[in-house]
Homo-oligomer: A and B are copies of this chain.
Amino acid sequence: MNPGTTINDTFFRRYRELVRKEMIPFQWNVLNDAIDVNIERERNDASIPNEKSHAIANFRIAAGLEKGQHYGWVFQDSDVYKWLEAVAYSLQSTPDDDLKALADGVVDLIEEAQEDDGYLNTYFSITEPEGKYKRLGESHELYCAGHFIEAAVAYHEATNNEKVLNTAKKLADHICNTFGKEEGKICGVDGHEEIEIGLMRLFHLTGEVRYLKEAEFFLRERGQDPEFFDKQWKDGGKMLMGGLASLPKSYFQVHLPVEKQETAEGHAVRLVYMCTALADLAATIKDERLADACRRIWNNIVKRRMYITGGIGSTVLGESFTLDYDLPNDTMYCETCASIGLMFFARQMLRIESKGEYADIMEKALYNTALSGMALDGKHFFYVNPLEVDPKKSKLDPTKSHVKPVRPQWLGCACCPPNLARMITSLDRYIYTEKEDEILVNLFISSDAEFKNGEVTISQETEYPKTGETVIKVNNNGADLIRIGVRLPSWSGKNRLSPDGREYESGSPNGYCYFDINKGEHLIRLEMDMEPKRWYTNPKVSENMGKVAISRGPQVYCMEEADNGEDLHCLYLLRDAKLSYEWKEDLLNGVGFISADGIRYETDEKSGLYFYGKKAEYKKQTIKMIPYYAWANRGKNEMRVWINEKE
């Protein structure tokens, strides 16, 4: 989209360098079982493999380069593909010959593991060739294929490597020849959406309409035959992942055809992956009915089923959405991958229509639940991103065992760490949306970008989110007026815009303020309202009654035990207390720190568990808050986003 965008931002540079210098080499070692790493199960489930990754070894075995058995999940291959995709983006911004050589080798290995007919999946090639495509509900074959195709597109764009593109096309052609409504083809879909994203990207790169058509087939076929997976299992496909068959159809989003889906249901990552491809398709073929389906699900998510951190997935069981306004803070899932998927979805929605809300949510997910997925050291990762944690409960209440109070080094189901790596390395693609008639400024990240084949350049200079000012320099070297839409964040009470030094007042019915830019250089200065704010929840959400969340700019804040002592639930923020902001350079790699007057209820052992006829006692205590993304970097401790409030 905007391969010409270069990020030189203070806030994100550290993350992007962490990915390049720490995550990519670390993940490479993990994929090769080359280092001793503590692989934790993300849930209390003995069936989750966590002895090692073995992902590269699986490819070597499938390619006939060594002997052995497949190890790990049936979707283990995708860890390699996501690594390759992250490497691609990294090479695009920062060339690195050694890394490129390593990745070229991986491309060679993948090509060797591919079967002659284009089929590619190490589990089935090694362990069970007779089972190919026979249980799509759980096999993740097309899911893995989608990830490979995404990686291949990115790697080809970054390096011009032809082999990776040819391997991807061979795989995609094989899929086009195997799946479809035509006689002799399998008329079914994968249990986990992703192939649709891959095929759309391959279409955008190559212009080959058959890839778009195949993506459209998978999206429109979804939910046409809700029993498809069951029929495959009954036809003798043995179960790999025992629990899947008992999950509701909505887990896989096959309960209804996509155009009839009114709400966000099932596995949260699957849902947003489906929506990403659906919105891409709707924007690409300009289909209003598909666009409406996307809008309905989007609205259901953001108005009824999303945490204030941009987290989605209210229950660990099925890692799923549940129902409107059901947003428990301490048992939810809020998988890192799901928030990343929500960013994918938002980015495609911006192609359908220019509406600031999409970028607002993209920004919310990015600065909160996506970034909270990794530790500040870049080497430890969350799968689950809670809004409330008590380490004692995580340890001893099995209902909360999936809610980890510290980030593990690596996870038995390792989807999130490489997903974060590819998100952070490709962040330049989210800053702007280029359309035929306008360019949208979505995110405020210091960067230099080119549009319209270099005729237009846009640079941003900003210390955001530390400060709320960004200076957008637009250079129009072409003859035509260009229309620039600058997002006015919905969280910002007041936005001051000064184009070329003039004061400017503008309504923004769609969340963007537009400027028609003629030839020459122009400066648009945007000042956002960075005063800390108190957020409340629609009273339909039972869990947040009487509670307040604090934000500053795009960042949601939280209390940690490290700053406030234990039993965070005993603390109340006073309703009228001033929220004092202070930048702390030495804390957590530099964070804005917020403090305010509060009280703490005292525990009195002698009162017993329940008591009547007297009030609990309390004393004054200052409440201290840090940005949510930075929590759990000071050892195991309690954390809370929603804070009790007292008038």
Q: A residues bordering B, Cβ < 8 Å?
A: 46, 246, 302-304, 306, 308, 314-318, 320, 322-323, 326, 328, 331, 390, 392-393, 395-399, 491, 493, 533-542, 545-546, 549, 551, 567, 569-570, 601-605, 607-613, 615-616, 644, 647
Contact = CB atoms under 8 A, between A and B. Distances in A.
Nearest to A328: B399
A559 to B, nearest CB: 13
A245 B326 CA distance: 33
Contacts of A328: 399
Contacts of A546: 546, 644
A549 B303 CA distance: 32
A303 B314 CA distance: 32
Given A323-B396, A397-B315, A570-B545, A538 B613 contact: no
A323 B397 contact: yes
A526 to B, nearest CB: 20
Given A315-B397, A546-B546, 14 more contacts: A317-B398, A320-B398, A323-B397, A326-B392, A328-B399, A533-B612, A536-B616, A538-B604, A538-B611, A539-B569, A539-B616, A541-B609, A542-B567, A545-B570
29 contacts: A302-B609, A303-B608, A304-B609, A317-B399, A318-B398, A322-B393, A322-B397, A323-B393, A323-B397, A326-B392, A326-B396, A491-B612, A493-B613, A535-B612, A536-B612, A536-B615, A536-B616, A537-B609, A538-B607, A538-B608, A538-B611, A539-B567, A539-B569, A539-B570, A540-B567, A541-B609, A542-B567, A545-B601, A546-B644
A326 B400 CA distance: 11
A360 B613 CA distance: 18
A316 B542 contact: no
A10 to B, nearest CB: 27
A538 B612 CA distance: 11
Contact of A603 (B302, B390, B393, B539): B539
A545 B546 CA distance: 10
Contacts of A314: 397
A600 to B, nearest CB: 9
Which 7 residue pairs of A and B lie closest in terms of their CB atoms, listed nearest first?
Answer: A542-B569, A317-B398, A323-B396, A322-B397, A539-B601, A533-B612, A315-B399
Contact of A611 (B316, B535, B570): B535
B539 A306 contact: no
A598 to B, nearest CB: 13
B322 A396 contact: yes
A280 to B, nearest CB: 26
